[in-house]
């Protein structure tokens, strides 16, 4: 694994915008570089990529086993999940309501074991950059090289396997950068390529028809399958949250309700309990840091690096945010590798149950957030 300096293509901004990455102009940069930065890339050996694939496949299997454990042993309270949701989540899991994708965030330096930092299982973003933009960059600048990236093809195949006639894709108008609508529009496009009739709308415009006991779109047409880039933990607190949960028994949404047990960072403590000393996990606890001399306190439902606290012998670093009321998980602090003064987080994508690709975000600090730059990668040889 190497960090390689290069040159950005002249007019790269227009190129990536034409390919679908429009929101990068709206990302406020605190580190003096663009959100999409193709002046640098990471190079991996085939053996490293094959090892990462095996790791991600194993982690995904372990996560599904963790869901089974939580459901079987009724450990929902440790997630801070309200009592009224326990049975619907259980039923969603027992039905195996279909899932489409997720992203594991890993710490990896090419030498030691990859370590799981967290799992974005419900509303993962940076999909367009990982699937499309870096692939076209590779084709244009390094056509003889390969890339760990079959995300696009895997998504089409996954939607085909679900065998749905139509899907409504929704995002929130409150997300102002354009990132969410970009990701949703791309997912709608791959679903359309799979032969599904699609529409994209803002989740705030979805209505509830009392007579039909169904959610409807702006033309009062019944919405069956909804693919939402909007987290379940927000949906269930909404006025119509109970109706949304009840609807899952008839037509499950994507991602399914049972993914509340994977998108919540309590998962990290459950995994460590079930698979202690696993080389790809970090010690993590819900009741405090225990024996950990250095640790990260992460809010169970935190997002984009907000409301976190890193405690080491040298310093304590906190990030602003509004999360934490639901509780924290305390995970061993495992510093990201220093690569020329930058620290990469590897985002490994899973579609269905298969590892299918990689995206990389970089920061100079200890915590990756929504302004950290995305950089492409190649496989050597």
Domain boundaries of the chain, sorted by first residue: 2-264+337-379, 283-332
Amino acid 305: pLDDT: 83
321 to 13, 95, 126, 243, 278: CA distances (angstroms): 31, 36, 21, 29, 31
Instruction: Round to whole Å and give the CA distance between 38 and 137.
Output: 8
Secondary structure element (H or E) that encloses residue 115, with its range: strand 115-120
Tell me the helices (H) and strands (E) count for the chain, helix number first.
11, 18
Is residue 7 within 8 Å of residue 141, measured between CB atoms?
A: no
Closest CA relative to residue 270, chosen from 260, 258, 283, 259:
283
Length in residues, the chain: 381
CB atoms near residue 303 (< 10 Å): 17
Amino acid 331: pLDDT: 98
Amino acid 26: pLDDT: 65
Q: What is the CA radius of gyration of the chain?
A: 20
Amino acid 28: pLDDT: 59
Is residue 283 within 8 Å of residue 340, measured between CB atoms?
A: no
Pairing of strands 343-351, 373-375: unpaired
Closest CA relative to residue 227, chosen from 175, 167, 156:
167
Amino acid 22: pLDDT: 84
Is residue 151 within 8 Å of residue 351, measured between CB atoms?
A: yes
Instruction: Round to whole Å and give the CA distance between 276 and 283.
Output: 8
**pTM of model > 0.85:** yes
Is residue 90 within 8 Å of residue 71, measured between CB atoms?
A: yes
Instruction: Round to whole Å and give the CA distance between 58 and 231.
Output: 25
Instruction: Round to whole Å and give the CA distance between 117 and 105.
Output: 6
344 to 87, 149, 243, 319, 372: CA distances (angstroms): 39, 18, 41, 19, 9
Query: Which pLDDT tens digits describe the chain residue by residue (381 residues)?
Result: 999 999 999 999 999 999 999 877 766 555 678 999 999 999 999 999 999 999 999 999 999 999 999 999 999 999 999 999 999 999 999 999 999 999 999 999 999 999 999 999 999 999 999 999 999 999 999 999 999 999 999 999 999 999 999 999 999 999 888 899 999 999 999 999 999 999 999 999 999 999 888 999 999 999 999 999 999 999 999 999 999 999 999 999 999 999 999 999 999 999 999 999 999 999 999 999 999 999 999 999 998 888 999 999 999 999 888 999 989 999 999 999 999 999 999 999 999 999 999 999 998 877 777 778 999 999 986
Instruction: Round to whole Å and give the CA distance between 369 and 319.
Output: 10
């Amino acid at each position: 694994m190497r960090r390689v300096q290069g040159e950005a293509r002249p007019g790269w901004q227009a190129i990536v915008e034409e390919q679908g990455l429009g929101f990068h102009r709206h990302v406020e940069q605190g580190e003096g570089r663009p959100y999409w930065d193709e002046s640098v890339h990471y190079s991996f050996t085939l053996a490293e990529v094959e090892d990462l694939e095996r790791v991600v496949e194993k982690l995904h299997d372990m996560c599904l086993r963790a869901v089974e454990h939580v459901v079987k042993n009724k450990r929902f309270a440790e997630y801070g999940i309200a009592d009224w949701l326990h049975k619907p989540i259980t039923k969603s899991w027992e039905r195996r309501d279909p899932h489409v994708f997720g992203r594991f965030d890993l710490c990896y330096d090419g030498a030691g074991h990859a370590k799981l930092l967290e799992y974005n299982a419900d509303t993962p973003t940076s999909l367009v950059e990982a699937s499309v933009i870096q692939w076209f960059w590779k084709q244009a600048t390094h056509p003889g090289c390969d890339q760990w990236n079959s995300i696009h093809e895997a998504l089409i195949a996954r939607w085909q396997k679900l065998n749905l006639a139509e899907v409504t894709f929704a995002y929130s108008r409150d997300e102002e950068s354009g990132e969410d609508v970009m990701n949703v529009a791309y997912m709608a496009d791959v679903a359309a390529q799979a032969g599904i009739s699609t529409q994209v709308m803002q989740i705030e415009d979805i209505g509830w028809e009392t007579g039909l006991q169904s959610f409807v779109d702006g033309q009062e047409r019944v919405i069956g399958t909804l693919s939402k880039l909007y987290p379940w933990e927000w949906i269930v607190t909404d006025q119509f949250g109970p109706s949304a949960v009840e609807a899952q028994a008839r037509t499950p949404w994507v991602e399914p309700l049972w993914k509340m047990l994977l998108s919540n960072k309590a998962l990290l403590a459950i995994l460590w309990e079930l698979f202690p000393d696993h080389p790809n996990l970090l010690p993590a606890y819900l009741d405090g840091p225990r024996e950990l001399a250095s640790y990260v306190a992460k809010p169970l439902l935190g997002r984009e690096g907000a409301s976190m606290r890193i405690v080491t012998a040298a310093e304590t670093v906190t990030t602003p945010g509004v999360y934490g009321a639901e509780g924290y998980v305390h995970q061993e602090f495992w510093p990201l590798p220093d690569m020329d003064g930058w620290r990469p987080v590897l985002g490994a994508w899973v579609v269905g149950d298969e590892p299918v690709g990689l995206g990389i975000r970089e920061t100079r600090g200890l915590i990756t957030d929504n302004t950290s730059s995305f950089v492409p990668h190649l496989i050597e040889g």
